[in-house]
Amino acid sequence: MFLLLACPVAQAGKLAIVIDDFGYRPATENQVLAMPVNVSIAVLPDAPHAREMALKAHQQGREILIHLPMAPLSKQPLERNTLTPAMSRDQVADIIQQATQKVPYAVGLNNHMGSAMTSSLSGMQHVMQALSHYSYYFLDSVTIGNSQAVPAAAGTGVRVLKRQVFLDDTANEADIRHQFNRAVALARRNGFAIAIGHPHPATVRVLQQMLPSLPGDIVLVRPSMLLNERPATAPASPPVAKPAPTRPFRGVPYCPSRQPAPPIYADAMLGAIASSVADTWRSILRGETAPVAGKPNAGKADAGNPDAAQ
């Protein structure tokens, strides 16, 4: 009986939800902290309520990430201590060290914006080298398609997760609900999914509505619980039977001759051979030998043949 009860849980799709930008909006952030404990938070290190929110989340047993600002490609105001590709390894290490003090109890780090930084291999190598000293994992928010987070982590021991869904690219509740359902579908299909949202009122309302009715085959997990996950392998498709040809090839039919072939007797065959030998000797005796390659007269018979030299 125990095994029968355990099987659905083992096969459940795992969904991790991370709410970014914590530290600026205590009112809505406290609503997030009232949600199931496996909803994780990412705290901006220099936000005015960063430490306060990190401590509250830790007291609940909630997973905490450092939401570290990284340079975007677009021109816009930047958070204090935003990492840029031009920074040295020591500068990057110093900013990350400060962030660990401002966001206590963090176990991972993800990027706030960061298209310019995460697409820089050297810049992300500095990040991974610094993270390797703290046993943090890195959650790539995937703000750009050619993120270098995975290759940059090679050899550092830092493990990398990737976001699959942004919940709230718009503030429209119908759009957020659609994205939530998309995350559920990906978790069901691939075995797991990570969705990132923000403490916007619309996002909070949708999560308050949809988390209590999460499908039975989906379990809410912390991001760190997905570090060893791999996408589920789709079952092999059965071989497709080829349709039978409408006009199958049945070979070439044998067409018998209406009349039997006349017999060939041995004396006729021997006569033909003797005649051919006699013609050959007559040609030799008259000096009509064939031209020999390499002799001066070789090829003279082809002098008027334009194809002979080809």
Q: What is the pTM of this model?
A: 0.72
Q: What is the mean pLDDT of residues 127-153?
A: 97
Q: How confident is the model at residue 11 (pLDDT cuts 50, 70, 90)?
A: confident
Nearest Cα residue to 141 out of 102, 116, 114, 180: 114
Least confident range from 97-106, 159-168, 226-235: namely: 226-235
> What average pLDDT does the chain have?
84
Position 180 scores a pLDDT of 98
Return the higher-pLDDT residue of 261 and 53.
Answer: 53
Whether residue 279 is predicted with pLDDT greater than 50 in this model: the reply is: yes
Whether residue 243 is predicted with pLDDT greater than 90 in this model: the reply is: no
Tell me the β-bridge partners of 15. 193, 220
- Hey, CA dihedral for 23, 29, 30, 33, is it positive or negative? negative
Least confident range from 206-215, 223-232, 272-281: namely: 272-281
- Hey, CA dihedral for 276, 277, 281, 282, is it positive or negative? negative
Position 76 scores a pLDDT of 87
Q: How confident is the model at residue 236 (pLDDT cuts 50, 70, 90)?
A: very low
Tell me the two tokens of residue 285. 């005796």
Tell me the two tokens of residue 268. 């006729």
Q: How confident is the model at residue 301 (pLDDT cuts 50, 70, 90)?
A: very low
The secondary element (H helix, E strand) that includes residue 89 is helix 89-102
- Contacts of residue 188, defined as CB under 8 A and 6 or more positions apart, other chains included, come to 13, 215, 217, 218
Position 229 scores a pLDDT of 87
As a dihedral over the C-alpha atoms of residue 175, residue 177, residue 183, residue 185, rounded to 10 degrees, the angle is -110
Tell me the two tokens of residue 128. 């991974």
Instruction: Check: CB of residue 159 under 8 Å from CB of residue 153.
Output: yes
Give the model confidence (pLDDT) of 156-185 as tens digits: 999 999 999 999 999 999 999 999 999 999
